[in-house]
Structure 1
Amino acid sequence: MPAPKQKSKVNDDIPSDLNIPDNYVQHTLTTQKPLPPFNWANWRDDLNWLNVVILCVTPVIGLIGALFTKLRWETFLFSIFYYFFTGLGITAGYHRLWAHRSYNASIPMQYFLAIAGAGAVEGSIKWWCRGHRAHHRYTDTELDPYNAHKGFFYSHIGWMLMKPRRKPGVADVSDLSKNPVIRWQHRHYLPMILIVSFIIPTLIPWLFWNDARGGYVYAGVLRLCFVHHSTFCVNSLAHWLGETPFDDKHTPRDHFATALVTIGEGYHNFHHQFPMDYRNAIRWYQYDPTKWFIWVCQQLGLASHLKVFPENEVRKGQLTMELKKLKETQERLAWPSDSNDLPVISWESYQEQALKRPLILISGFIHDATNFIDEHPGGPHLLIKMIGKDATTAFFGGVYDHSNAAHNLLAMKRVGVLHGGMRQGLDDKVVPPSQRLKIARYNELSSPYASSTAYSDGEGMLG
């Protein structure tokens, strides 16, 4: 790309989002009219022809070349190496270093990553980071340049093949405009992509094992296709396949398969929650070669200030989703009737009704044992003798210290509350174990300002 004028450099020092309104997103969607939807009748005008040529013609050239070019083992290994070389230029350079500033890199390492990234032919650092920062700021909205809600194909490659229907949301890159390495790459980008992406992978196989043609086809053209779609999978596959262990508000997901094809960028749910963390994978056994590369560079003195989000806050995100899943499971289960929904029965009425059906009093609650007498593990006689009586002591260890399962099942058989309640000192007997940690919604909490999402030890339990 041509060098920007001096005036543009000065303007680039001013953050582009400095004076945007508080309601920027809604204001933009309301005031800026998008282009009409893509129409095959106008496909010549709607397609971005430069990207169409790069992304569609390149794999055709590579496939035709592979049909007529033998793949030597030296070229095969070199192609894999070169794939990781240029791919790390994107993942460790464009993405984690410059787009998210997740670590600091020495000047030699910056030049290395800028050169490697140019070999991936995905635009200059400044252009790439501007789009990616917009993606993070406006994820899954109309201002997201590769909005996953528009479909897998669109987020993978469609957004590049067609002219954007709407300008991406504002994203500041003034910090990048001040970087001499980024300005150098931006100024010399066109010759760099030719040299790094095609000339070097052709020359090295030619000079060392006399396979210029194989180097061009496999390490040059086909390697470029793999790098392209590896990166594109971060925008598509990583928003479609996997789990949401940290937040399910947006589409990003975590999956090993995506990490495998994206040089470690597949733990995308984590990344969108903690974008300034230099890691994508936080466990040692998770596949993230980009993280390992950055860590090794730190050991060599080439990288520093590797940012790691506090483990306490990461765990909060995980706990939030774990509680949400537990809440969903909880909603599918049947629970005992709330004490406020049960009739209040006097002792005399309780004894009178117990003559007609097997009612048993335990912890201030009256239970109907009609369907359980014959199934009682200790024998029906133990229940029969307690009909019309208070069996609290016997139930809580006097005869047998019942299991949690027995407590939970007993609560499902409540049919009434004894007038006057239970004897003092038995408060911990009222709430069955399954409800002592029952998760409550915010509108169920006793205080509108309470911050807990779960109750414990039976305090303030809700049905």
Structure 2
Amino acid sequence: MPFRIPGTQINWTNSSFLIGTGLATITAVPYYLWKVGIDWFQVALFLAFFIATGLSITLGYHRLFAHKAFKAAWPVRFLTLVFGAAAFENCALAWVSDHRRHHKHTDHDDDPYDISKGFWHAHIGWILFKINPEPPWDNVNDLRKDRLVMWQDKYYVTIAVTAGFLLPAALGWLYNGPVGALGAFLLAGVARVTAVQHMTFFINSLCHSVGNRPYSSRTSARDSWIMALFTFGEGYHNYHHEFQHDYRNGVKWWQFDPTKWTIWVLHKLGMASELRRVDDSKIISAQLSEAQRRVQEHLQTSADRINERTRELLHASAERLAEINARWNELKVHYREQVDALKKDYAHKTDEKWQEACHALEEMRREVRQAVALLDRLPAVA
């Protein structure tokens, strides 16, 4: 009989693997480094497998298979399925099924990694313990038609062990015999698996706890540039939850999103197509609506706890946002159709009307930023 915690049941397979690799990472790996040391090959191999498996999750499992944010040629799909398996985060069918339920039921009981059940549950507890029976994979019928996905599902364990542990060990053996094989197994295998898995887990936990919500406060998902640094750009999670089918998470050009850049490069190489993007007008509208909601919430809930200066700032911000919203609606009416028409013909992008429309759009973005900045300068008590 499995050991039970009231209302839970330990998933022994997942728990044994996660705890085993975690313990090996903090014991066997440091011991190897102390006894043998490390060289450029082991560092390069770790980074290569970290990037290959990490991007296979964010680019492949997540944006390609779960959200259909773009289409990819079979070599891209094949490699992301192979190295996605090497991340040991389950087969693509199971991963995508869980993730689609997460988006459909965010912060509610049917969300597999519901943050409202606690940070630990969202981070790793949902994998170690199974509170409810495994739900049917009835939300991935589209992927069942993909022969590569079904091939990975059938041979998942073999693919994962071969690509995740045996391949780096074999490369280490070729480089430096048994000692190199052991080092590669521990570093590019075990330690890398632990690092990539917790990178993914942080998206489910920290990205629902740390950061801001510039696009929508309907869910706990948050944007965090710090988390983006460790998650191949997945840290812009508030944007992603509001516009989940966009191939970009870091929608601004300066935001750190290596997954977006990789998809763009694949597109230029002819290996990816039909990249889905949310129209700028929808993004600005979402920011305006959320900023207005924040102002009204401050005015309604904090009126008796804020000083006169803060109250004046709030009213000024509300008026400014209302003015911007009216101008934005006018801009959409006057310029949206002609911008869409001119986009189809690159030669017309020097047209005076095109330049006028682009200038107006950029001016609107600047005004939104200024209004939101005013809101962010308010005292925390508000």
- TM superposition score category, shorter chain reference: 0.7 to 0.9
Asked if 1:324 is matched to 2:293, the reply is yes
Asked if 1:213 is matched to 2:186, the reply is no
The one-letter amino acid paired with 2:31 is F
Partner residue, 1:67: 30
The one-letter amino acid paired with 1:55 is L
Shift of the alpha carbon at 1:213?
A: 1.4
Asked if 1:280 is matched to 2:262, the reply is no
- Pick aligned residue for 2:239 from 229, 249, 270: 270
TM-superposition CA deviations, 1:9-56 (whole Å, max 9, x none): xxxxxxxxxxxxxxxxxxxxxxxxxxxxx963687xx10000001110
Partner residue, 1:35: none
Percent of paired sites with the same residue:
36
Evaluate the alpha carbon distance shift between residue 181 and residue 330 of structure 1 in structure 2; reply closer, same or farther with a 3 A threshold.
same
Asked if 1:154 is matched to 2:121, the reply is yes
Evaluate the alpha carbon distance shift between residue 323 and residue 193 of structure 1 in structure 2; reply closer, same or farther with a 3 A threshold.
same
Mean Cα deviation higher: 255-264 or 94-103: 255-264
Asked if 1:246 is matched to 2:211, the reply is no
Asked if 1:313 is matched to 2:313, the reply is no
Name the one with the larger helix percent: 2
SS at match of 1:236: helix
SS at match of 1:271: helix
Shift of the alpha carbon at 1:437?
A: 5.5
Shift of the alpha carbon at 1:311?
A: 1.0
Matched-pair contact (CA < 8 Å) for 1:134–1:171 = no
TM-superposition CA deviations, 1:254-291 (whole Å, max 9, x none): 00121112111110110011111001100111111111
Matched-pair contact (CA < 8 Å) for 2:11–2:129 = yes
Q: Take 1:310 and 1:125, find their aligned partners in 2: how far apart are those partners?
A: 29
- Pick aligned residue for 1:76 from 35, 39, 43: 43
Partner residue, 2:271: 302
Query: Which TM-score applies when normalising by structure 1?
Result: 0.62
Q: Take 2:321 and 2:101, find their aligned partners in 1: how far apart are those partners?
A: 40
Matched-pair contact (CA < 8 Å) for 2:85–2:160 = yes
Partner residue, 1:184: 151
- Correspondences of 1:356-371 after superposition (within 5 Å): none
Shift of the alpha carbon at 1:166?
A: 5.3
Q: Take 2:89 and 2:131, find their aligned partners in 1: how far apart are those partners?
A: 17
Partner residue, 1:126: 93
Q: Take 1:64 and 1:167, find their aligned partners in 2: how far apart are those partners?
A: 33
Shift of the alpha carbon at 1:326?
A: 2.7
TM-superposition CA deviations, 1:96-144 (whole Å, max 9, x none): 0000000000011111111110110111111111111111111111111
- Correspondences of 1:29-178 after superposition (within 5 Å): 40=5, 46-69=9-32, 70-165=37-132, 167-168=134-135, 172-178=139-145
Shift of the alpha carbon at 1:328?
A: 3.8
Evaluate the alpha carbon distance shift between residue 75 and residue 439 of structure 1 in structure 2; reply closer, same or farther with a 3 A threshold.
same
Shift of the alpha carbon at 1:205?
A: 2.4
TM-superposition CA deviations, 1:182-213 (whole Å, max 9, x none): 01111111110110110111111221354111
Mean Cα deviation higher: 62-71 or 313-322: 62-71
Higher relative contact order structure (alpha carbons within 8 Å, sequence separation ≥ 6): 2
Q: Take 2:321 and 2:220, find their aligned partners in 1: how far apart are those partners?
A: 28
Matched-pair contact (CA < 8 Å) for 2:292–2:318 = no
SS at match of 1:174: coil
Shift of the alpha carbon at 1:67?
A: 3.0
SS at match of 1:85: helix
Partner residue, 1:228: 197
Cα RMSD of the aligned pairs, angstroms, is 2.5
Matched-pair contact (CA < 8 Å) for 1:134–1:169 = no
Partner residue, 1:33: none
TM-superposition CA deviations, 1:130-189 (whole Å, max 9, x none): 111111111111111111100000000000101233555875111000001101111111
Matched-pair contact (CA < 8 Å) for 1:125–1:186 = yes
Q: Take 2:243 and 2:96, find their aligned partners in 1: how far apart are those partners?
A: 17
Shift of the alpha carbon at 1:58?
A: 0.9
Structure with higher Rg: it is 1
Mean Cα deviation higher: 105-114 or 64-73: 64-73
SS at match of 1:200: helix
The one-letter amino acid paired with 1:289 is P
Residue correspondences, number: 306
SS at match of 2:89: coil
Q: Take 1:41 and 1:142, find their aligned partners in 2: how far apart are those partners?
A: 18
SS at match of 1:68: helix
Asked if 1:257 is matched to 2:222, the reply is no
Matched-pair contact (CA < 8 Å) for 1:75–1:218 = yes
Partner residue, 1:389: none
The one-letter amino acid paired with 2:255 is Q
Shift of the alpha carbon at 1:66?
A: 1.6
- Which runs of 5 or more residues in structure 1 are unaligned? 1-37, 335-404, 409-431, 441-463
- Which runs of 5 or more residues in structure 2 are unaligned? 324-382
